[in-house]
């Protein structure tokens, strides 16, 4: 067993902020693996925890190491582990599921009733090492650069949302161009959408959406999203809306811009209940509304690997910043300002 201490970004107390600390290297059980973290990306969830918003106050228990998106190399494995070897390049499904509930037993482990999330409910990967159950590991092609491999988890959110129904030959709107929205644009384009229309209020991120293949980008402050969609779709509306903004106004625009019989797939997490015109925007339009959480285990991961290794989606344009772990505050500040795509930390 590896002994000693390591550098880690710790959420030290129930207050805003985080600090770099020396903590013990985690010890593994017989079912677990120790991974040396080579790249770890900052997620919106981590920014919530850093800023100490209402959600994180109700969910996380400091002190602990946070972070959940990473790529690394297996350096130690428990005696019952058979699916990976020392030296393997890995990332991980961040939802640790029970394997016993109704959902787990019916092929829907991504909505396990007893889900624990790495870096939220237990120690995470903003550290030199992370210990994880071997069943959660996803083996990476050693050729895949660590920074690209580290964003597979949020990329999987985008893949799960876009591919929760047909997109080939269809018009797709992506509302909200945070990193997952920007990656969803790339997925929709790669999977044959006839148009990919991206909406946000932030021009920096709309530029990234263009780089990832958006056919039209709309700054919803300067242009009326519904008018733009009408003009681009012969007045019919879009076939698919991927809702990534969580904003009540933007969300309502999504329900108004979808065509009769279309689909609205919601990945965003609005902080308060949102008022929707169910009668006119859902029932009479005969649309399908889907909640999307996590990634399907492990169908989504296979799609992720396929899209990245084939080069059909190149996520490099949206990985905009790299910092050593020590400079994590620079990364969090960029995320808070929205002046970045994906920020990757290197322990
Ligand atoms: Zn994430
Ligand atoms: Zn379960």
pLDDT of residue 156: 98
Residues with pLDDT less than 70, the chain: none
Among the options 5, 40, 48, 320, which is catalytic? 48
Which numbered ligand comes closest to the C-alpha of 97?
A: 2
Query: Ligand 1 centre and the CA of 312: distance in Å?
Result: 22
Query: Ligand 2 centre and the CA of 108: distance in Å?
Result: 8
Residue 48 among the catalytic residues: yes
pLDDT of residue 1: 81
Instruction: Give CATH for domain 5-151+315-346.
Output: 3.90.180.10
Query: Ligand 1 centre and the CA of 94: distance in Å?
Result: 8
Round the CA-based radius of gyration of the chain to a whole number and report it.
20
- Same fold for the domain at 5-151+315-346 and the one at 158-291? no
31: enclosing H helix or E strand: none
Domain ranges in the chain are 5-151+315-346, 158-291
Instruction: Give CATH for domain 158-291.
Output: 3.40.50.720
Query: Ligand 1 centre and the CA of 50: distance in Å?
Result: 14
Residue 110 among the catalytic residues: no
pLDDT of residue 213: 98
Contact status, residue 315 vs residue 213, Cβ threshold 8 Å? no
Pairing of strands 319-324, 238-243: unpaired
Closest by Cα among 324, 322, 305, 323 to 313: 305
């Amino acid at each position: 067993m590896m002994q000693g201490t390591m550098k880690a970004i710790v959420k030290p107390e129930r207050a805003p902020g985080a600090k770099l600390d020396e903590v013990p290297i985690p010890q593994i059980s017989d079912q677990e693996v120790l991974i040396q973290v080579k790249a770890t990306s900052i997620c919106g969830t981590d920014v919530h925890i850093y800023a100490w918003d209402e959600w994180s106050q109700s969910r996380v228990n400091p002190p602990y190491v946070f972070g959940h998106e990473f790529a690394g190399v297996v350096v130690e494995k428990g005696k019952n582990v058979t699916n990976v070897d020392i030296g393997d390049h890995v990332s991980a499904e961040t939802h640790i599921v029970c394997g016993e509930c109704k959902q787990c037993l019916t092929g829907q482990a991504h909505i396990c009733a007893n889900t624990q999330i790495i870096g939220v409910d237990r120690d995470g990967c903003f550290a030199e090492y992370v210990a994880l159950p071997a069943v959660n590991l996803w083996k990476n092609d050693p050729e895949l650069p660590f920074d690209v491999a580290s964003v597979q988890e949020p990329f999987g959110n985008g893949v799960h949302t876009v591919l929760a129904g047909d997109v080939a030959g269809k018009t797709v709107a992506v509302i909200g161009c945070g990193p997952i929205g920007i990656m969803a644009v790339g997925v929709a384009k790669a999977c044959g959408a006839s148009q990919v229309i991206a909406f946000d209020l932030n021009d920096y991120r709309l530029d990234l959406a263009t780089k990832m293949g958006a056919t039209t980008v709309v700054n919803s402050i300067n242009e009326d999203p519904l008018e733009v969609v009408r003009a681009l779709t012969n007045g019919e509306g879009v076939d698919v809306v991927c809702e990534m903004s969580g904003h009540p106004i933007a969300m309502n625009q999504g329900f108004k811009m979808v065509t009769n019989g279309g689909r609205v797939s919601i990945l965003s997490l609005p902080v308060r209940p949102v008022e929707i015109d169910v009668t006119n925007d859902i029932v009479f339009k005969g649309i399908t509304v889907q909640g999307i959480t996590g990634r399907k285990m492990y169908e989504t991961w296979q799609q992720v690997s396929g899209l990245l290794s084939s080069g059909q989606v190149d996520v490099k344009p949206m990985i905009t910043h790299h910092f050593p772990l020590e400079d994590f505050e620079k990364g969090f500040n960029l995320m808070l300002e929205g002046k970045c795509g994906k920020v990757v930390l290197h322990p």
